[in-house]
Amino acid sequence: MNESSTLRRGLASALAAYVMWGLLPLYFRALHAVPPLELVGWRVLFTVPVCFVIISFRKQWPDVRAALTSGHVLGLLVLSALLIGSNWLIFVIAINSGHVLATSLGYYINPLINVVLGTVFLGERLTRVQWMAVALAGAGIALLLGGALDTLAVALSLAFTFAFYGFVRKKAPVGAVPGLTIETVLLVAPALVIVWLGAVSPAGSALAMGGHETPLLIASGVATAIPLLLFAVAARSLPLSTLGFVQFLSPTLSFILGLTVFGEALDATRLACFALIWAAIALYSWDMVKRARQA
Q: Tell me the per-residue pLDDT of 176-234, one tens digit each, with 9 for 90 and over.
A: 788 889 999 999 999 999 999 999 998 889 888 878 889 999 999 999 888 877 887 78
Is residue 154 within 8 A of residue 94, CB to CB? The reply is yes
Return the closest-CA partner of residue 39 out of 217, 183, 221, 224.
217
CB-CB neighbours of 206 under 10 Å:
21
H or E stretch at 72: helix 71-96
Q: Give the 3-state secondary structure percentages of the chain, helix then strand then coil, rounded to 5.
A: 85, 0, 15
CB count, 10 Å around CB of 80? 26
113 vs 156: CA distance, rounded Å: 10
Q: What is the DSSP string of 167-196?
A: HHHHHS-S-HHHHHHHHHHHTHHHHHHHHH
Do residues 185 and 48 lie in contact, with contact meaning Cβ atoms separated by under 8 Å?
yes
> What is the spatial distance between Cα 104 and Cα 188, in angstroms, rounded to a whole number?
28
In this prediction the pTM is 0.84
For residues 82 and 228, what is the distance between their CA atoms, to the nearest angstrom? Answer: 15
CB atoms within 10 A of CB 212: 11
Cβ atoms of 107 and 247 within 8 Å: the answer is: yes
Give Cβ neighbours of residue 97 (< 8 Å, ≥ 6 apart). Answer: none
The pLDDT of residue 197:
94
pLDDT at 291: 73
Residue 277 one-letter amino acid: I
Q: How many CA atoms lie within 13 A of 41 on its CB side?
A: 19
pLDDT under 50: residue ranges of the chain: none
pLDDT for the residue 108: 85
